[in-house]
Amino acid sequence: MKKANIINLIKYYAESNDSGFRNEAYQIANEFDKLGDYQLSEYIMALLSNANTFVPQINEADLKFVRKVEVNGGEPLPLPEEIKSDVLGIVNATEHGIGVNKFLFQGAPGTGKTETVKHIARILERELFIVDFALLIDSKLGQTGKNIAQLFDEINNLLIPEKAVVLFDEIDALALDRTDSKDLREMGRATTSVLKGLESLNDKILLIATTNLYNHFDKALVRRFDSVIDFNRYSREELVDISEVILKYYLSKFKNATRNIRLFRKIISLMQVIPYPGDIKNIIKTSLAFSNPNDEFDYLRRLYAFASSDEDRNLKKLQNQGFTVREIEILTGVSKSQVSRELKE
């Protein structure tokens, strides 16, 4: 234990700063744990868990504005290399523990912002808490601002802050440019409360907010985040590759569906605009779920119908789209010999 730890403990005690006192004590316990003095570390942790200090730490059952969600397991999260690199940067920044702990994910719906937060929580082995905006925003004048202040009190008093990730999913309701708001004063107060909350946030807590409306985001609020990650960085080729990863994952759950990746990629490439992962995942899941269990390629026909918006599968058109005779047989149910004959005619 260092002199600075002792000074901080006395300082936080004198200021009745329960959150700071506990955080310093947790840090001391962690130091003893690293030094191999496990018994002393556990003793300090036990004292903290039983202590009645200045402001009682908030138990999960007492949380009003945040709720804990499970992040175990999960589906694959294929991301472009640029975004993967940024996610790794967030993990590294968090583990360095130097107070770089506030991030904003911006991008269109379906780009994987929320799922990435869950993935980060799994990597860091942290618990994930999501803000409940339905309870936070109040129609009474000034109440939303008070609720936000209480929300940050809850966050800063979580039992083990260094094991917490807090997600402000679709924070737009609180963060849109105040000059565009219908109720300037009320939303101005709410945004100001968020600004204050972010400034006083416990450094050990990882906070991530997501937005679909970054262009309308309050600029003063943007500056409170340590980094903004753009989730719109998907190339067309990357979306085809990601679609394949998603298909392989769901195909493993369907015994009667047969894999034909070459044909699948051709179908996806037909789309003028390939949907982002969240949407393409739903399209693939629906195509598989609705498919005839006695027809191994029915899901591919359904995908083709979506991709081409064409129920009438004209053989010549399919050929012009680059499908082979065998692939046309799969997509139409017409035998190869008949397909060949009709195409010659």
pLDDT, block means (10 residues), the chain with 345 residues: 78 76 78 75 69 49 84 83 96 93 96 95 94 81 84 90 93 64 59 89 95 88 95 96 96 92 97 95 96 95 87 83 94 92 87
CA pair distance 333, 172, nearest whole angstrom: 48
Amino acid in the structure at residue 119: H
pLDDT score for 122: 93
pLDDT score for 175: 66
pLDDT score for 71: 83
What's phi and psi for 140, nearest 5 deg?
A: -70, 140
CA pair distance 149, 163, nearest whole angstrom: 22
**Best CA proximity match to 104, nearest among 212, 235, 197, 178:** 212
pLDDT score for 310: 63
pLDDT score for 48: 67
CA pair distance 74, 249, nearest whole angstrom: 11
pLDDT score for 1: 66
Helix (H, G, I), strand (E, B) or coil at 156: helix
pTM of the model: 0.77
